[in-house]
Structure 1
Amino acid sequence: MIQKALRLYREAYAGLSLQIWLLAGVMLINRAGSMVVPFMTLYFTQELHFSMQQAGFIISAYGVGSTIGSLLGGRLTDKLGYFKVQFLGLFLGGFLLFVLVWMRDFYAVVACTLVLSMVADMFRPANSAAVAAFSDVQNRTRAYSLNRLAINLGFSISPALGGFLAAQSFSWLFWVDGVTCWIAALILFLFLRNAPETTLSAEEETETSPQRSAYQDRPFLFFIFLTVCFAIAFMQVFMLLPLYLKQQFQLPEWYIGLVISANGLLVALLEMVIVFRVEGYPRKLKIVSRGLLWLVAGYLLLALNLHYWTAWLFILLITIAEMLAMPFMSTFTIERATVQNRGQYAALYNVAYALGYIFAPSFGAYMASTFGFVYLWMAAATIALFTFGGFRILERWVRHEKAL
């Protein structure tokens, strides 16, 4: 049994290029130090003494900057290449974290947060295009899953460590986050600056379909709308769950960090194997829609408001949702693109999550402060259920499109 499990893990990780592993390493270092975002709400309310609505507004500003940065990053990626855009995003993002830690005025914090997210999120579409360039159609979903594994492994470290650091001083979060951005930029520069800008698979070399603008791709635009809905529902986990656990159950920061870290750890342990087992399934959007049902179940459980230990079961349910949905959403995005406009498609996909950053915190903060957390979790479950229906419609639309 153990040998069979080990063989399954080896097969799941086999066949990926060295560049994919290096990109995952850069992502791991960067995300292991990403301690500011999970504790933004606590930092703004407890350290800077802003109201919950002000904290929600700042996080929404983060989303606005992320939207601009994603669009700018996608455009620059198609023009300059993914290495330069990734490097600039990491280096300048680290610098702006060192600036933000000194800000105390509300409007200065809003402005600095917006610029920080704009610069830092130029990295995302460039990184997505790089993963596509160094993978082929057979292992692309696993390549994205490895990248997500690095993200989630890092994210399993950062909230736990961040919780301990925040208990000492919130300023440590900014210093450690900024330094890890610079370390990731240095590794990118040392090992990937001379990598070729395109690596085409045999299928892509013989590609004959004309280049299509993402803005004219109607099924993809509908997909982007559904991704925004998914992001609004899913991001309540990281935006408002820490505050809920603090206010409802008076849990310490280090315990909250451990709960949030469980999500990243589970993804790191299980996602590659799950993707390896189901990546040959042709109806990938159906897998995404099934993931949405797990998200619905998670929020309904949280709405019961039973006990603080239900947070652990909730994390398990939403992690299953994440593992079934996100890898195949990334693959769907790149498979709709051509080699020449991957940056454009990847940018729009990242904009969807950036829009989630804009609407999710304000929506969540309003619902929690006005109606209470139970109604927030019920609303999130409703949005997830709506998104499930949308993905079933999109799946039929895409199947009809291919049949023509």
Structure 2
Amino acid sequence: MKKLFLNYIDTFSGLSKEVWWLALITLINRMGAMVIPFLSLYLSDDLCFTLQEIGWVMSCYGLGSLLGAWIGGKLSDRIGYYKVILGSLLLTGISFFVVQYFSSFLSICISFFILITVADAARPAFFVALSAYSKPENKTRSLTFIRLAINLGFSMAPALGGFLIVTLGYSGLFWVDGITCIIAGLIMIKTLHPKKARVIDKEIVIENPTPAASDGIYMLFLIALTLFGFIFVQYFSTIPLYYKEVHFLSEKSIGLILAMNGILIFIFEMPLIAYLESTSLSKIKNVIHGFILTGISFLLLVITPWAGIVIIGMIIATLGEMISFPFGNAFALDRSKKGKQGDYMGFYSMSFSLAHILGHNTGMQFINNYGYNNAWLFMGSIAALGTLLLFIVKYKIGKEKTALLKKT
């Protein structure tokens, strides 16, 4: 047992102190993201919005996320990742203070659109910062470490949020969310200021950099990644409904199954990534394996009515997530060296924003019209299409490397 624990601790070795500070900033920021899990309840219970109005607010939220990722990528290249992250954290904190005072439907749509645009501008900048603060050989593990901080923060946020609602009401969520954003910004000023932090892997400046939109291989990879996000978000929208309506699980049981996802990631992701990095498998090959596992998790739900299959499905989906996301992130960062990193990582972040905009609503509509089993078959076919695209990406990368070798 002691040896297992020491091996687990060893998977964190070699990460720079800047990555540890970035993880702490991320953890504090995500722990404070308490408004988001309770947003639909806040709009329904506190503001008495209809379901249709709530749907429009969520659409504005998704569109803001898309715009924020694009702006953040562009600004990261122009003014640097540090200013973008710091500005986003501080302005997001102020935005949370202000948003709580709006109550009309139109003002809520506009204010939440602006809030999430400002907040998600930091997403591509975080990727660029992580690349700068990580040694090339540690990038995938550094990305995985940040994901652990995100998952830990998100798992704590609902519990803290529920306590605040009971004690202080919904306004307490906005105040605490705003304060934690500002605290994260102040910690960044203290620890990651350009004069204090070491840039370990400096961005390679090349002549005539390739814009992300002109990199055919990268854009094909992002299409596949959007398809992956499309099916993965079902685990946080349609899948819980399936648990309740088909398997008659209680909210408590559903919560425990969803919590299992975060627990598995927290315990096993770092050792798994460390092991996979020691193999000869390429980043794209690992993403393919993760995509296939996630697709299988949906198909399992069709083959048997046994209730235990939902737990097996969640385990397999989590395994797919643990493999796909870190190596997908790492591939995007490696590819970004062909051009401007902010531009590349902005498009990367936009792919998941697009998946959120399309995935939840499409899944709901498909289930409403064709039923759960057909929906899971549809998700399986989407996984197959995404896997095919990734194989094409892998083939094109091979040709690209061969062409470069011939030139040299």
Preserved CA contact (<8 Å) 1:65 1:117: yes
Q: 1:48 to 1:257 in 2, by over 3 A?
A: farther
Structure 1 segment 214-233 matched on structure 2, within 5 A: 214-233=212-231
- Report SS of the residue matched to 2:209: coil
Equivalent in the alignment of 1:289:
288
Shift, 1:378, TM fit:
3.6
Equivalent in the alignment of 1:276:
274
Distance 2:41 2:303 in 1: 24
- For each residue in 1:175-216, what CA deviation from the matched residue of structure 2 results, as whole angstroms up to 9, or x when unmatched? 4333322222221122212456872549x76x8786322121
Shift, 1:357, TM fit:
2.1
Q: 1:182 to 1:301 in 2, by over 3 A?
A: farther
- For 1:110, give the aligned amino acid: C
- For each residue in 1:21-66, what CA deviation from the matched residue of structure 2 results, as whole angstroms up to 9, or x when unmatched? 0001111111122233334445445555545454333222212111
Q: 1:108 to 1:368 in 2, by over 3 A?
A: farther
- For each residue in 1:285-330, what CA deviation from the matched residue of structure 2 results, as whole angstroms up to 9, or x when unmatched? 1111111122112223445795776554443222111111000111
Equivalent in the alignment of 1:189:
189
Task: Figure out how many residues of one structure are paired with residues of the other and give that number.
Answer: 400
Shift, 1:115, TM fit:
1.0
Distance 2:380 2:329 in 1: 23
Structure 1 segment 374-393 matched on structure 2, within 5 A: 374-393=373-392
Equivalent in the alignment of 2:406:
none
- For each residue in 1:225-246, what CA deviation from the matched residue of structure 2 results, as whole angstroms up to 9, or x when unmatched? 1111111111122244455556
RMSD: 3.0
Equivalent in the alignment of 2:250:
251
Greater Cα shift, 100-109 or 385-394? 100-109
Is the aligned partner of 1:363 residue 2:365? Answer: no
TM-score, L = length of structure 1: 0.87
Consecutive unaligned residues of structure 2, counting only runs of 5 or more, are: 404-408
- Say which of 227, 236, 239 aligns to 1:238: 236
Distance 1:276 1:146 in 2: 11
- Report SS of the residue matched to 2:340: helix
Equivalent in the alignment of 2:199:
199
Q: 1:244 to 1:258 in 2, by over 3 A?
A: same
Equivalent in the alignment of 2:180:
180
Shift, 1:159, TM fit:
3.3
Structure 1 segment 5-404 matched on structure 2, within 5 A: 5-45=4-44, 48-162=47-161, 171-195=171-195, 199-201=199-201, 211-242=209-240, 249=248, 251-252=250-251, 256-280=254-278, 281-302=280-301, 306=305, 311-338=310-337, 341-404=340-403
Consecutive unaligned residues of structure 1, counting only runs of 5 or more, are: none
- For 1:211, give the aligned amino acid: P
Distance 1:379 1:46 in 2: 34
Preserved CA contact (<8 Å) 1:74 1:343: yes
Q: 1:373 to 1:58 in 2, by over 3 A?
A: farther
Task: Report the identity percentage.
Answer: 34
Shift, 1:71, TM fit:
1.2
